Structure 1
Amino acid sequence: MALKIGIVGMGGIGNNHAACYQKDELADLVAVCDVVKAKADAAAEKFGVKAYYSLQTMLESEPDLQIVDVTTGGIDNGSWHFEPAMEAILAGKHVLVEKPLAHDIEEGRQLYAAAEKMKVYLGCNLNHYFTPPAEKAMQYVNEGGVGELVYCLMKMGFNGGEAGYAAAGSPKIKDHPYFHMKAFLTHPFSVMRHFCGDITHIQTFSDRPGFRRNAGDVMVSINSIHVKFANGGVGYLLSQRGDAVYGLGGWWSFEMAGSKGTFAIENCVEKVSYWKAEKGIPAISVQPEPEVTNYGTNDFGTTFGNRLHAFLEDVSNGVPREQLRANGRDALAVLEYTFAVIESYERGGELVRPRRLPPLHGDPLTML
């Protein structure tokens, strides 16, 4: 049976989600909401649903609503997440919130705690690993093809360079030094954690190039981040916001190397390569031939529908909250990592230990 959904925030992401829901048999989009009346009205007409201009009114008028999808933005793409997400949670609705989970780490912790108290699903749009290449890569991991983690390399950001640079004029970005960190690091950290587990140590060297400085741009746009995982493996994340053109692997690449094999995903949705560790492989110079699975696409837009369908599937199936894919705890984890990066940067590149996640207690009705 299709789940009744209302979307809050009818900008680009909200309209994207609405279009995905209308193609999904598990979704019944019944309402859209935006404090900007013109946006709500335009979306309502486009998708043939009711328009609302406050979440309170939508909740009161649509008592059968099951899911509230929060796609608002704000400063650093996240300052308008907390209030609607918390309002929907306290109303007993399941919530999917756009990344980052919140603009402030304390707000993120409160959202997770409230969802646990209300026993509702809290998911986050961590869509970057809802792809066929990621599924194939996880198959290698689960079947023992990677073995014990040795290292991972994550490179994710935006192609660019000095020639195409233009200072941001939006008040949601301009004069906010941590825009890229807060708005974007959630995604690569979510991929790293998905494959490699929890991160226990973080250290960063972050800066901005001269052409940003000369333009008076305060965004800390270059992030060179070193991490240690709970299982003893190490990792590296390079992310920059249009300061250079990426080379091998494109704007999005992830490599995970273990004691039994290595895989690399290129361009997020395009392909995955796997190298098996065997006796007799030359130590240097000659690279063994990989097993390559090419999916013949570079359409990143497919990740949105994949992620939304997974959320609907999990809610429909009534999975335990801790088993919800890309759940609130996952979103809180990567937000903790992002704020650890900020702390490391502010302390001149010192090592920082992210705050521990809340313990999992488990549901006695599902853990029999």
Structure 2
Amino acid sequence: MAVKIGIVGMNGIGNNHANCYKDDELADVVAVCDVVRERADAAAERHGVKAYYSLKDMIENEPDLQVVDITTGGIDNGSWHFEPAMEAIGYGKHVLVEKPLCNDVREGRELVAFAEKQKVYLGCNLNHYFTAPAEKAKAYVDGGDIGELVYCLAKMGFNGGEANYAPAGSAKISGHPYFHMRAFLTHPFSVMRHFCGDITHIQTFSDRPGFRRSAGDVMVSINSIHVKFANGGVGYLLSQRGDAVYGLGGWWSLEVAGSKGTFCIENCVEKVSFWKAEKGIAAISVQPEPIVTDFGTNDFNRTFNNRLHAFLEDVENKVSQDQLRASGRDALAVLEYVHAVQESYELGGEVVRPHPLPPLHGDPLYLK
């Protein structure tokens, strides 16, 4: 049976989600909501549903509504997530929030705690690992083909360079030094954690290039981040916001190496390569041939369809809270990492230990 959905925030991302739901047999969008009446009305007409101008009105007039999908933006792309999410959870609705979970880590902690208290699902659109290459790579990990984690290298950002630079015009970006950290690092951190587990230590060396300084741009756009995982592995994340042209691997690459093998995903949706660690390859000149699985696509937008469908599947199947994919707790973890990056930067590159996640309590209906 299709899940009844109301979407809050009908700008670009909200309409993107609505378009994805049109292709999903599990989705039934019944209403859209935006405080800007013109946007709500236009979206309602476009998608053939009713328009609302307050979340309260939408929920109280749509008694069968099951999921509230919050696609609002705000400062750092996340400052308008907290209030509507808390309101929807207060009504007992399941909530899916665009990334980042919030732009303030204290609000993120409160949001996750409230969802647990109300016993509703809270998910986040951590869509970068809802891909065919990521599924193949996770099979390598779960099947023991990677072995004990040795290192993880992630590179994620935007192509650019000085000739392509223009100062941000939006007040949601301009004047906010941590925009790239808060708005974007959620994605690479979520992917690193998906494959390698929790991060316990973070150290960053971050800056911005001279052409940004000359323009009066305060965004800390270059991030070189070292991490240690709870399982003993180490990692490195490089992310920049259009300050250079990326080389090998494209705008998105992830390499995870273990004692038994290594995989590398290139350009998120395109392909994954796997190298098996075999006896006799220690010499520098000897490199095993990889197993390359090319999925024949560069359509990144499909990640939205995949992720939204996964949330609806979990709601429909009434999975344990601990088994919810890309949950609010997962999104809080990466928000804690981003906050630690910011703190390390402010401390001149000191090592910071991210705030621990709340304990898992487990669901008595599932834990036997």
Q: TM-score, normalised on structure 2?
A: 0.99
Question: Quick one: which amino acid aligns to residue 307 of structure 1?
Answer: R
Q: 1:145-204: CA deviations, max 9, x gaps?
A: 000000000000000000010000100000000000000000000000000000000000
Looking at structure 1, the residues matched to 299 and 73 of structure 2 have their Cα atoms a distance apart, in angstroms, of: 23
Measured after TM superposition, the shift of residue 287 of structure 1 is 2.1
The residue number in structure 1 matching 2:142 is: 142
The residue number in structure 2 matching 1:26 is: 26
Question: Quick one: which amino acid aligns to residue 40 of structure 1?
Answer: A
The residue number in structure 2 matching 1:310 is: 310
Question: Quick one: which amino acid aligns to residue 2 of structure 1?
Answer: A
The residue number in structure 2 matching 1:355 is: 355
Looking at structure 2, the residues matched to 283 and 358 of structure 1 have their Cα atoms a distance apart, in angstroms, of: 46
Question: Quick one: which amino acid aligns to residue 167 of structure 1?
Answer: P
Looking at structure 2, the residues matched to 90 and 22 of structure 1 have their Cα atoms a distance apart, in angstroms, of: 27
The residue number in structure 2 matching 1:73 is: 73
The residue number in structure 2 matching 1:216 is: 216
* Seq. identity, %: 81
Measured after TM superposition, the shift of residue 282 of structure 1 is 4.0
The residue number in structure 2 matching 1:236 is: 236
Measured after TM superposition, the shift of residue 57 of structure 1 is 0.8
Q: Tell me which stretches of 4 or more aligned residues in structure 1 moved more than 6 Å.
A: none
Pairs within 5 Å for 1:334-349: 334-349=334-349
The residue number in structure 1 matching 2:248 is: 248
Looking at structure 2, the residues matched to 24 and 360 of structure 1 have their Cα atoms a distance apart, in angstroms, of: 32
Aligned-residue CA RMSD (Å): 0.5
Measured after TM superposition, the shift of residue 63 of structure 1 is 1.5
Question: Quick one: which amino acid aligns to residue 212 of structure 2?
Answer: R
Structure 1 residues not aligned, in runs of 5+: none
3-state secondary structure, aligned to 2:263: strand
The residue number in structure 1 matching 2:322 is: 322
The residue number in structure 1 matching 2:116 is: 116
Looking at structure 2, the residues matched to 283 and 134 of structure 1 have their Cα atoms a distance apart, in angstroms, of: 30
Looking at structure 2, the residues matched to 365 and 122 of structure 1 have their Cα atoms a distance apart, in angstroms, of: 18
Question: Quick one: which amino acid aligns to residue 57 of structure 1?
Answer: D
Looking at structure 1, the residues matched to 103 and 207 of structure 2 have their Cα atoms a distance apart, in angstroms, of: 21
Q: 1:53-86: CA deviations, max 9, x gaps?
A: 1111111111110000000000000000000000
Question: Quick one: which amino acid aligns to residue 101 of structure 1?
Answer: L
Looking at structure 2, the residues matched to 114 and 13 of structure 1 have their Cα atoms a distance apart, in angstroms, of: 25
The residue number in structure 2 matching 1:46 is: 46
Question: Quick one: which amino acid aligns to residue 162 of structure 1?
Answer: E
Q: 1:4-23: CA deviations, max 9, x gaps?
A: 00000001110000001111
Looking at structure 1, the residues matched to 209 and 311 of structure 2 have their Cα atoms a distance apart, in angstroms, of: 39
Q: 1:285-322: CA deviations, max 9, x gaps?
A: 33211000000111100000000000000110000011
The residue number in structure 1 matching 2:82 is: 82
Q: TM-score, normalised on structure 1?
A: 0.99
Question: Quick one: which amino acid aligns to residue 169 of structure 1?
Answer: G
Measured after TM superposition, the shift of residue 283 of structure 1 is 2.6
Pairs within 5 Å for 1:68-217: 68-217=68-217
Looking at structure 2, the residues matched to 137 and 283 of structure 1 have their Cα atoms a distance apart, in angstroms, of: 26
3-state secondary structure, aligned to 1:362: coil
Looking at structure 2, the residues matched to 283 and 233 of structure 1 have their Cα atoms a distance apart, in angstroms, of: 23
Looking at structure 1, the residues matched to 286 and 344 of structure 2 have their Cα atoms a distance apart, in angstroms, of: 39
Q: 1:20-64: CA deviations, max 9, x gaps?
A: 111101010000001111111111001000001111111111111
Looking at structure 2, the residues matched to 267 and 283 of structure 1 have their Cα atoms a distance apart, in angstroms, of: 29
Question: Quick one: which amino acid aligns to residue 304 of structure 1?
Answer: F
Looking at structure 1, the residues matched to 289 and 87 of structure 2 have their Cα atoms a distance apart, in angstroms, of: 53
Question: Quick one: which amino acid aligns to residue 164 of structure 1?
Answer: N
Measured after TM superposition, the shift of residue 103 of structure 1 is 1.1
Looking at structure 2, the residues matched to 63 and 84 of structure 1 have their Cα atoms a distance apart, in angstroms, of: 17
Structure 2 residues not aligned, in runs of 5+: none
Looking at structure 2, the residues matched to 207 and 39 of structure 1 have their Cα atoms a distance apart, in angstroms, of: 37
Looking at structure 2, the residues matched to 109 and 272 of structure 1 have their Cα atoms a distance apart, in angstroms, of: 35
